[in-house]
Chain A
Amino acid sequence: MSILSEISENLQRGKAKIVKELVQQAIDEGIPAQDILEKGLLAGMDVVGDRFKKNEVFVPEVLVAARAMNMGTTLLKPLLAESGVEAAGKVCIGTVKGDLHDIGKNLVKMMMEGKGLEVVDLGTDVAPETYVKTAIEQNCQIICCSALLTTTMPVMGEVVKEAEKAGIRDKVKIMIGGAPVTEAFCQQIGADKYTTDAASAADAAVEFCRGMA
């Protein structure tokens, strides 16, 4: 098995320390950082994401895989920056104002990072203006809003309006998700995409970024 396959396999099993060692070994062997990232780490996260979408693995498996990926990317980041490798796109994500739940939001973030996207995490209880300000200042192509409560869902509509007000609505895609959110609600507030799970959200975000490149 090649070292890149080994990285992918161990990442899928959440073996963070082994992944870190293998990534270091791959760097020492002179394998380009971009190859280690794409054919090792991201390839492993792709498998995890697919299996999560099919309900074959669950939240803990995704979390340990993401932890392993982070251990590897920490080593790769300076090398990727040196060689001018850019992320596949940039996203800002947060749980909307009035809502402190963050497991769903964190899963989406991990899955997006696992697709090679750069994610700015705004945390929880995020005001509509903060999403829009961040998207402008950090050149994000996508704003992602999460909500668990039926009472906080309407804030997602305010984010859409705020983006319109700031004149960036044609430059950013707005994605929404969370337990009570539906496709009908997405259409009603004029957001661009609703997905039912974190892995599908990451797939959709990659598609948007490709389309906007």
Chain B
Amino acid sequence: MTSKERVLSTLNFTNTQERIPRQLWSLPWAQEHCPEMMERLSRDFEWDFDGPDTVLKEQPVTKGDAYAVGEYVDEWGCIFTNIHRGVIGEVKQPIVEDDDWDDVGRVHIPEELLSFDIDQVNRSCEQKQGKFLFASCCPRPFEQLQFIRGTANLYMDLMDPPPKLLEFMKRMHDFYSRLMEKWAKTEVDSLNMMDDWGSQNDLLINPQLWDEYFGPMYRDYIDIAHQNGKKIFMHSDGNILRIIPKLIDLGLDAVNSQLFCMGLENLAPYKGKITFWGEIDRQHLLPRGTTADIDQAVESVYRTLWQDGGCIAQCEFGPGANPENVYRVYQAWEKIRNK
């Protein structure tokens, strides 16, 4: 069985024999601070996910390095301040400062990201045949709006949205939809999207606001994927228990979220309905857990959420993680199912 077949059978809940698919998320920090472990991980495990090399005919304008100390300006013109090499910074200066969004003209919608050639992408997909391939795009409407406006400002705006914000959200969604449509025409296996929706305890915003403004956007992206025969994955940090059933209803195939912050037992009802794309607790277990803790955590995820599919072995190798624990995560998953 190829990686692609393994991932598909897991997403379709028909993986009765094969090992659990795996993917490592590593921040540049990991390569800089733990190159030996990165080398060991890449040598000792076969990874199932990849993505095509993508050439843009027009380059979006960015300034600086997203992972370097200092200032970075992203494709939309949002300004990030970073004090740690190897991780991404924080937006401290919004580009839309006006409460009525009168200065929204400062935002650049990065149409350049649409300038890839489908044939070039498909040739790259062919070279990586056998792997499960992700598109190189990732709509994040809620987070991008925060980067544009500042988190607190955006939250307040959403309570009584000015017309120009709503107008901009439509334009942003139109852009993301066109981007997803174009990627859905390539030979990748899945589209993906992200937005951090949870605090440690609950959703960041009222679920009614989520239903009104953001759920419909995700529904459109999911529909685009499925209408084109693709799967679709989503990442969302925090406690997102309230929206997991909504995402299942929308048809999302796989979600990456902080399982341990939500409590595995609370996720048990969703076993067999969605695939949990990782994780293993990076707040407590990866930095400070023992190897026995890691084994137990992996075993609990498998026991609670696996049903001939529905789990992907994944964790994030970032600042604070004990490298041995990261390695142990994949060892523990392999012990469970090693074909």
Which residues of chain A have a CB within 8 Å of any CB of chain B?
Answer: 14, 55, 57-61, 63-64, 67, 98, 100-101, 103-104, 106, 125, 149-151, 179-180, 182, 196-197
- Also in contact, A14 and B200, with CB within 8 A (given A151-B320, A180-B283): no
Q: Kindly provide the distance from the CB of A121 to the nearest chain B CB, expressed in whole angstroms.
A: 13
Known: A55-B201, A59-B199, A149-B319. 10 other contacts (CB 8 A): A59-B155, A59-B204, A61-B206, A63-B155, A67-B156, A98-B83, A98-B84, A100-B92, A179-B261, A179-B283
A64 to B261 alpha-carbon distance, docked (Å): 27
- Also in contact, A60 and B92, with CB within 8 A (given A55-B201, A180-B284): no
Chain A residues, Cβ within 8 Å of B92: 100
Q: Kindly provide the distance from the CB of A186 to the nearest chain B CB, expressed in whole angstroms.
A: 14
Interface centre among A64, A67, A150 (most CB of B within 10 A): A150
Chain A residues, Cβ within 8 Å of B261: 179
SS class, residues of chain A in contact with chain B? loop
Closest chain A residue to B84, Cβ basis: A98
Q: Kindly provide the distance from the CB of A118 to the nearest chain B CB, expressed in whole angstroms.
A: 21
Which residues of chain B have a CB within 8 Å of any CB of chain A?
Answer: 81, 83-84, 89-90, 92, 151-152, 155-156, 158-160, 199-206, 209, 261, 282-284, 287, 319-320
Query: Judging by beta carbons under 8 Å apart, are A150 and B84 in contact?
Result: no
Chain A residues, Cβ within 8 Å of B152: 63, 103, 106
Q: Kindly provide the distance from the CB of A20 to the nearest chain B CB, expressed in whole angstroms.
A: 15
With beta carbons under 8 angstroms apart, the residue of A60, A106, A125, A197 that contacts B159 is A60
What are the 7 A-B residue pairs with the smallest beta carbon separation, nearest first?
A150-B320, A60-B155, A180-B283, A100-B90, A151-B320, A179-B200, A151-B319
A64 to B209 alpha-carbon distance, docked (Å): 15
A196 to B200 alpha-carbon distance, docked (Å): 8
A63 to B206 alpha-carbon distance, docked (Å): 12
Q: Kindly provide the distance from the CB of B106 to the nearest chain A CB, expressed in whole angstroms.
A: 22
With beta carbons under 8 angstroms apart, the residue of A60, A150, A182, A196 that contacts B209 is A60
Q: Kindly provide the distance from the CB of A82 to the nearest chain B CB, expressed in whole angstroms.
A: 31
A98 to B82 alpha-carbon distance, docked (Å): 10
Closest chain A residue to B281, Cβ basis: A180
Chain B residues, Cβ within 8 Å of A98: 83-84
Q: Kindly provide the distance from the CB of B208 to the nearest chain A CB, expressed in whole angstroms.
A: 10
SS class, residues of chain B in contact with chain A? loop
Chain B residues, Cβ within 8 Å of A63: 152, 155-156, 159
Query: Judging by beta carbons under 8 Å apart, are B156 and A150 in contact?
Result: no
Interface centre among A14, A58, A149 (most CB of B within 10 A): A58
Closest chain B residue to A196, Cβ basis: B201
- Also in contact, A58 and B205, with CB within 8 A (given A98-B84, A106-B152): yes
Q: Kindly provide the distance from the CB of B17 to the nearest chain A CB, expressed in whole angstroms.
A: 37
With beta carbons under 8 angstroms apart, the residue of B81, B158, B206, B282 that contacts A150 is B282
A59 to B157 alpha-carbon distance, docked (Å): 12
Query: Judging by beta carbons under 8 Å apart, are A64 and B159 in contact?
Result: yes
Query: Judging by beta carbons under 8 Å apart, are B287 and A150 in contact?
Result: yes
Q: Kindly provide the distance from the CB of B283 to the nearest chain A CB, expressed in whole angstroms.
A: 4
With beta carbons under 8 angstroms apart, the residue of B83, B89, B158 that contacts A60 is B158
Closest chain A residue to B319, Cβ basis: A151
Closest chain A residue to B209, Cβ basis: A60
Query: Judging by beta carbons under 8 Å apart, are B284 and A100 in contact?
Result: no
**11 cross-chain CB contacts under 8 A:** A14-B159, A57-B206, A60-B209, A61-B159, A103-B151, A150-B320, A151-B319, A179-B200, A180-B284, A182-B284, A197-B201
Closest chain A residue to B320, Cβ basis: A150
A196 to B202 alpha-carbon distance, docked (Å): 11
Query: Judging by beta carbons under 8 Å apart, are A101 and B90 in contact?
Result: yes
A100 to B88 alpha-carbon distance, docked (Å): 11
Closest chain A residue to B154, Cβ basis: A60
Chain A residues, Cβ within 8 Å of B319: 149-151
Chain A residues, Cβ within 8 Å of B81: 100
Q: Kindly provide the distance from the CB of A25 to the nearest chain B CB, expressed in whole angstroms.
A: 23
Q: Kindly provide the distance from the CB of A22 to the nearest chain B CB, expressed in whole angstroms.
A: 18
Chain A residues, Cβ within 8 Å of B203: 58
A59 to B261 alpha-carbon distance, docked (Å): 18
Chain B residues, Cβ within 8 Å of A64: 156, 159
Chain A residues, Cβ within 8 Å of B90: 100-101
